């Protein structure tokens, strides 16, 4: 999650939706935000005192964290946005990311189908690299009542175009978004990775995202 007081926005970073590249572009703005230089010492004081503040919000936290920790007047005035991704494609991206960043976690997992069965098994042990992309995307976007409280939801499939809309909404000069954490070579068509069984398994697990974000296996 990225909060800018000067530019009045809150970016909710959902894993595997181009967020690292987006943060690289948006982070350039922090050097011209006077509040940024106060946020770091405030965060350190928060850690030492044990009193949690919104001086630094967790990277992949949902919008509810900011809503609960920020004053209502501040939160309500922020332009809150996030990007989402087709759940089937997101899991392919996750698979390749783990192959690159933490291949030891795939020991005993021989292919993508085994990866999906293991990853979505409710009885497996908690593993950060697996868990970070099993959280429903819509859970990042809602308050305690289940109401979507972000102002703009962009799509990974239209990343560049939708990021331009964000910049226009914030009256920002054109920002260059680098391609960070590029995955190893993969089949461009995510459908090629799935059997009927694994496609249905993802459909059931992420049914809420598929319904509310209007995605399909196509």
Q: pLDDT tens digit string along 200-213?
A: 999 999 999 999 99
- CA atoms lying within 13 Å on the CB side of residue 189: 4
For residue range 48-99, list pLDDT tens digits in order: 555 455 556 778 899 999 998 899 999 999 999 999 999 999 999 999 999 9
Q: What are the phi and psi torsion angles at 200 (to 5°)?
A: -70, -35
User: Would you give the distance in Å from CA 13 to the centre of its chain?
Assistant: 3
Domains located in the chain, CATH noted: 2-212 (3.40.50)
């Amino acid at each position: 999650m990225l909060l800018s007081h000067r530019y009045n926005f809150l970016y909710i970073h959902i894993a595997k939706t181009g967020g690292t590249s987006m943060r690289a572009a948006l982070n350039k703005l922090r050097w011209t935000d006077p509040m940024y230089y106060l946020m770091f010492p405030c965060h350190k004081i928060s850690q030492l005192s044990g009193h949690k503040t919104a001086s630094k919000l967790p990277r992949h936290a949902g919008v509810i964290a900011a809503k609960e920790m920020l004053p209502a007047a501040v939160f309500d005035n922020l332009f809150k946005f996030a990007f989402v991704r087709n759940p089937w494609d997101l899991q392919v991206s996750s698979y390749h990311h783990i192959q690159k960043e933490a291949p030891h976690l795939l020991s005993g997992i021989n292919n993508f189908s085994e990866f999906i069965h293991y990853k979505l098994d409710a009885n497996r042990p908690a593993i950060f690299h697996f868990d970070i992309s099993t959280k429903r995307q819509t859970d990042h976007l809602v308050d305690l009542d289940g109401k979507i409280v972000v102002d703009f939801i962009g799509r990974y499939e239209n990343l560049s175009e939708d990021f331009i809309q964000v910049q226009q909404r914030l009256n920002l000069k054109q920002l260059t978004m680098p391609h960070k954490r590029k995955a190893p070579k993969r089949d461009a068509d995510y459908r090629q990775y799935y059997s009927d069984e694994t496609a249905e398994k993802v459909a059931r697990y992420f049914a809420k995202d598929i319904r509310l974000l209007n995605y399909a296996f196509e």
